[in-house]
Amino acid sequence: MTRAAALVIDDDDTYRELVCLLMEDMGVTALQAATCRAGLEVLARERVRLVLVDYFMPGMEPARCIAEVRRAAPPGAWVVLVTAAEDPQARAEAVGLPRWLAKPFGVQELLDLVREAVADDDGASP
């Protein structure tokens, strides 16, 4: 059985490392990228079940970054907006994402989301 994989796209090195460590502890292969372009490169070569993407990424406008990530992600993969910006739900809705995490989020909130995403093998999730 192959381990589920997830990608964290965020320019905050400490945040990325922490989230990846938590996912690895769950048995999820955690990949990471510090820019949207680097994340797109990962998505071109890796099959992931979950992408956590920060709203504000250097070098690319948020809506464009998220649209490109959604196009590059495998069918059925969850793309989740992560942001410390005001009204994360409205920002997620504006870029067409049904799921979001507001920074700072609790460890259990992250673990529950990862568990649900990797368990969703029917490919029905946006």
**Tokens (6 digits) for 95:** 């870029």
Cα–Cα distance between 113 and 121 in angstroms, integer?
14
Whole-Å CA distances, 112 to 10, 48, 101, 104? 20, 17, 11, 15
Burial status of residue 33 (CB atoms within 10 A of its CB: 0-12, 13-18, 19 or more)? buried
| pLDDT tens over the chain, length 126 residues | 458 999 999 999 999 999 999 999 999 999 999 999 999 999 999 999 999 999 999 889 999 999 999 999 999 999 999 999 899 999 999 999 999 999 999 999 999 999 999 987 644 434
Phi (first) and psi of residue 84, to 5 degrees: -100, 0
Task: Provide the 10 A C-beta neighbour count for residue 72.
Answer: 18
The pLDDT of residue 3: 80
**pTM, rounded to two decimals:** 0.92
- The span from the CA of 80 to the CA of 82, in Å, is 6
Report which of 37, 49, 40, 41 is spatially closest to residue 75, judged by C-alpha positions.
49
Q: For residues 30 and 13, what is the distance between their CA atoms, to the nearest angstrom? A: 14
Tokens linked to 33: 């990228």
- CATH fold of 5-119, please? Rossmann fold (3.40.50)
